[in-house]
Amino acid sequence: MSDLATLEQTILGQITAAGDESTLEAVRVAALGKKGSISALLSTLGKMSPEERKTQGAAINLAKDKVTEALSQRREVLKSVALDARLANETIDVTLPLREPPVEAGRIHPLSQVMDELTTIFADMGFSIAEGPDIETDDYNFTKLNFPIGHPAREMHDTFFFNPKEDGSRLLLRTHTSPVQVRTMLSQKPPIRVICPGRTYRIDSDATHTPQFHQVEGLVIDKGSHLGHLKWILHEFCKAFFEVDHINMRFRPSFFPFTEPSLEADIQCRRDKGEIRFGEGEDWLEILGCGMVHPNVLRACGIDPDEYQGFAWGMGIDRIAMLKYGMSDLRQLFDSDVRWLNHYGFRPLEVPTLAGGLGS
Ligand code: DAH
């Protein structure tokens, strides 16, 4: 066999033996690269006689073509082998279970949850939400609500007052949500049906009182509204809120300057080993104050008491939240302790609805 034929066989053997594309590339460079074996043979052509060049040239070029062809065939084979290997490696098993969703961090505070629950229930009864500022005037917090200046009822509320202004008037932190009644009556024409949830403040701090707490006020003003409507609304509210089919309520006479008559409402319950059940038992729990809006209040807010009447109620949100969700210490509501929140808080996407359940 001629040298050329031997070289060609060697190179073709190396091509067949190359197991991956980089080895194959090395074979190509060694044969056809600038300093490759076949390129070296081609460069000898110049020194040959024309006769020799004719035969040798044709032979070398033939060998070069064969090598080039073998290289490209081998490259195709290696490529498809590599692709098959990747496909075998990267298959997706669609029967695998889904990955766990990311851990939901953060919880809705029970008070926010309870406010959402309240508004959901009252919205379903056709109430809208009214709001007012935490910093109020003495006039809206007291005077227009029929607390005459100097009247002892003002002392019932331990009020945070701001320093008096030059004209002697004083702003204060509202002691109840009732001034929002005044704001609503001054800005809307009856019929009125609103609830006003919000922050309230009193100088008081012990196991059952915090200086800042929450109330929800309700107000209905219309031509024919009466105590029967009020009782029905509160009864329906309590059933929906405590998520029970049956609840017993009791109304006791009371006193508030802005209502006449004034009542306090209790719900029946049984306390059993730290648990509380509603609608049965011997205990009564006071949950709210209410009554028919006093004619003086209607008059102070520009509503004619001979044409319209109405009723109102005010309820502590913190307390009903604790009752519903079994929290023992009021102060924990304000501690911002993440461990407590993880336990008592609610998942952000589980929004309370009447159909889907309030306290998920
Ligand atoms: N504002 C009262 C309080 O803070 C609660 C209240 C009682 C509100 C009777 C009312 C009501 O609207 O009619 O103690």
Digit-coded pLDDT (tens) for 59-89: 899 999 999 999 999 999 999 999 999 998 8
Using CB atoms within 10 Å of the CB of residue 313, give its burial: 0 to 12 exposed, 13 to 18 middle, 19+ buried.
buried
Q: Any idea where the domains of the chain sit in the sequence?
A: 2-89, 105-344
Q: How many angstroms is it from 290 CA to the middle of ligand 1?
A: 6
Instruction: Catalogue the long-range contacts made by 64-71 (C-beta closer than 8 Å, 24 or more residues apart).
Output: 64/32, 64/38, 66/8, 66/12, 67/8, 67/11, 67/12, 67/15, 67/31, 67/32, 67/38, 68/32, 70/11, 70/12, 70/15, 70/16, 71/15, 71/24, 71/27, 71/28, 71/32
What is the CATH architecture assignment of 105-344? 2-Layer Sandwich (3.30)
Residue nearest to atom 2 of ligand 1 (CA): 314
Q: How many angstroms is it from 214 CA to the middle of ligand 1?
A: 12
pTM of full prediction above 0.75: no
Kindly give the parts of the chain with pLDDT less than 70.
1, 102-104, 360
pLDDT of residue 91: 86
Residue nearest to atom 12 of ligand 1 (CA): 313
Tell me the helices (H) and strands (E) count for the chain, helix number first: 11, 10
pLDDT of residue 1: 59
Q: Are strands 259-272 and 249-254 parallel, antiparallel or unpaired?
A: antiparallel
